[in-house]
Each structure stands twice: as C-alpha cells, then as structure tokens.
Amino acid sequence: MPIHSARLLAPAFAAVAVASLLAAAPANAAVDGRSGDVVGHVYETTNAAAGNAVQVFDRLRDGRLRADGTVPTGGRGLGSSLASQDGLVRDGNLLFAVNGGDDTVSTLAITDRGLVRRDVAPSGGDLPVSVTVRHGIVYVLNQNSETISGLRVSDDGHLQPLPHSTKTLSKSGATPTAAAQVSFTPDGRSLVVTHKGDQTIDTFAVRNGYAGTATPHHSAGVTPYGFDFDRRGDAIVSEAGPSAVSSYSVHGNRVRTISASVSDQQAAACWLVVTRDYAFTVNAASASISSYRISSDGRLHLIAAVAASTSAGGSDAALSPDGKFLYVRLSNGSVASYAIHHDGTLTKQQDVAGAATAGTAGLAAD
C-alpha cells in the first residue's frame, strides 16, 4: 500500500538474525507448538499513555489470529485516539510506530526470535500521528505543529534526523488542519498528506529524499482522511464527512480528480485500504465495512454499502501481504479478521482481544 508497512509486498514472515537484543523481551512466533500454522503476524500499538507497546498477533494460514506478547516501543502513547491512519507501518523487516504522548517515533525489528526494539527518536514536531517509509527515508506527520519531518533509517533500524527536512503544511495557522495521514506515492516522487479540518490534500515533491514546499489541492469531499494507492498509483481517499470515497491521479505536484465523492451510504468512512482492484472503507459511526471496485481508469464503483459488519466501531485497517485477508482494529482494542474473496466480498472470521483497550494508534501486518 502506499509504501505502507502493512501493505508492502515484502516476505510475509521475516526471519532476520540479530546479534544483540535491546531491553524489550521478544514476542515469539508461536505459543502453542503449532509453528507450522503461523505464516506471519498482525501488529497493533496499544497507545497507552503510561508506555506505548506493540501487541503481536500470530497470523495463521487461514487468516485467523492468535494473541501473543507485547513489546514496548520505548515511548509514550497519547492515551486517546490519534484520529489518523498509518500510525504503525512496516517496511521490510522493520516496524515504525509513532508515540503521540512524547513526540517520538520508534523502530522495532522483526526477527526470528520475535519483535525487538531498535531505536527511539524525536519525531521533529508536536503530536506525531502518521509515518511513511521509502528507501531508508522516513517522514512523520506531526498534527499539532502542522508539519512533516524527515529521518534516515539504517538497515538495522537506527534513526537519524534528516537535516532541514521539516516542512509546514499548506494551510498551517488558519483553521486547524487536523492532518490525518502522510504517505509516499508508489513512485516515491511525492508525499501526500490529508487534512481533515480544511478539505485539503497536500502534495510535496520529493527529490533526493527531501520534500519541497506543500502544494494544496481542494479535495472532492469534506474531511479527507485515510488513503491508499491502487496498482496504477492513483490515490483512493476516504471522506469522513459525507462517508464517501474519491480517487485522484497524482503526478508530482499535479493532482486530478477521477471519481468525486462516491458515497458508501454509511457514516464516517475513515480508514481505507486497497487490494487488487478493490477498496475497503471502515466506517466508524456505522460499525461497517464498505467495498468498492476500482476500474482500469481509476474510477470507483460501490459494490456493497455493508460488505461486512463490525462488532464495534472500527479504528484502523490493514491487509495481509497477499491481499487475501482484511484486518480491522476495533474501538475496544480488539482486531477483527475477514477473508477477501475474488469478487471483493468479505467473510467475517473472528474478533481477537489483545493488550490494547482503546485509541486509534495503528495496525500493520507481515
């Protein structure tokens, strides 16, 4: 997905030996001896104010989950909703987690001995809510300071600030932007940021890892929120206000609307993921998931207003790397799993509780 950790087509189950472990205890790949069933993991951040942590779930061959251990991020969570998408992402064998309570970002390595914390670094601003990674460059969206800031990450997960990389969002200081997500485009030539507060989508041209000045674009519908990219590189963006989805072509700082505000007939479409030729929105206020077909020219067509129901309001979403399973973080901290069929329909599998209790903080899978 964009270069989302949860959506990269990297190997589903990483096995990287690490010479030395840091303070956090690893979460093991299997807890009951059935290691052959485990093909990957799903991760969610607890967002706890006393200390943020990553809850690890074993991902079984049939898509179901089994709760395993937790690994501290080394930072503090916000203790309440981040109201964002991609607060936790995966890039290859590394996880990146924002810590909204102390303005830091953490890296954790996925190893054959479990998940291991590697580094914690300042986010470069106030209230980090979303993070994106590409080719060793990390950008963090800081909601309160209305900025994005860059870091470099080494292969083993150590972070260094990217000098002079902090850029202000296009409408900073006016109506609060309440920015929701930052992501590299699939070609890496741009960064995209959605503003929930002022119906704006920013693009930043990227050269040699450095983002340029923000270029604003009026979004088709109000409250642009979560987004993902289809296989052609078009941006598919949810709109919480009208509970709708729009699609855009993005080339550098040029953005063109393809489909404008296609309603899902639900309430508060917030989180969105794309697999194959389908997009799924998680509707926070109607406890439902809607499905769309994406045509070859990027146009959107609603398949089902209610492709599946959720047992509680949704608060994030992620896909298995093969695109066969959808995982939805629920407002009570549990994670729901759904099988995705070839025609875009969904079958509910289970809800699994972990250490998280509430608060939107991120969801990723390998």
Q: What is the pLDDT of residue 176?
A: 78
Q: If you ran DSSP here, which 8-state letter would residue 5 be given?
A: G
Cβ–Cβ under 8 Å, residues 303 and 286: no
Indicate left, alpha or beta for 5 from its phi (over 0: left) and psi (-120 to 50: alpha): alpha
Phi, psi values for residue 269, rounded to 5°: -70, 110
Alpha-carbon torsion angle 48, 49, 52, 56, nearest 10: 0
Q: Which of 324, 277, 286 is nearest to 305 (CA)?
A: 286
Question: Number of C-alpha atoms within 13 angstroms, CB side, residue 242?
Answer: 17
Which tens digit of pLDDT belongs to each residue from 26-81? 444 333 334 459 999 999 999 999 999 999 999 999 999 999 999 999 999 999 88
Q: How many domains does the chain have?
A: 1
Cβ–Cβ under 8 Å, residues 283 and 268: yes
Q: What domain range includes position 100?
A: 5-365
Whole-prediction pTM: 0.90
CATH code of the domain containing 215? 2.130.10.10
pLDDT in 10s for each residue of the chain, 366 residues: 443 433 333 334 333 333 333 333 344 433 333 445 999 999 999 999 999 999 999 999 999 999 999 999 999 999 988 999 999 999 999 999 999 999 999 999 999 999 999 999 999 999 999 999 999 999 999 999 999 999 999 999 999 999 999 999 998 665 678 999 999 999 999 999 999 999 999 999 999 999 999 999 999 999 999 999 999 999 999 999 999 999 999 999 999 999 999 999 999 999 999 998 999 999 999 999 999 999 999 999 999 999 999 998 888 999 999 999 999 999 888 999 999 999 999 999 999 998 887 766 799 999
Q: What is the pLDDT of residue 233?
A: 97
- Matching residue, tokens 């914690």: 120
Question: Please, which residues have CB within 8 angstroms of residue 199's CB and are 6 or more apart in sequence?
Answer: 218, 219, 221, 222, 223, 224
Kindly report the number of other CB atoms within 10 A of residue 198's CB atom: 20
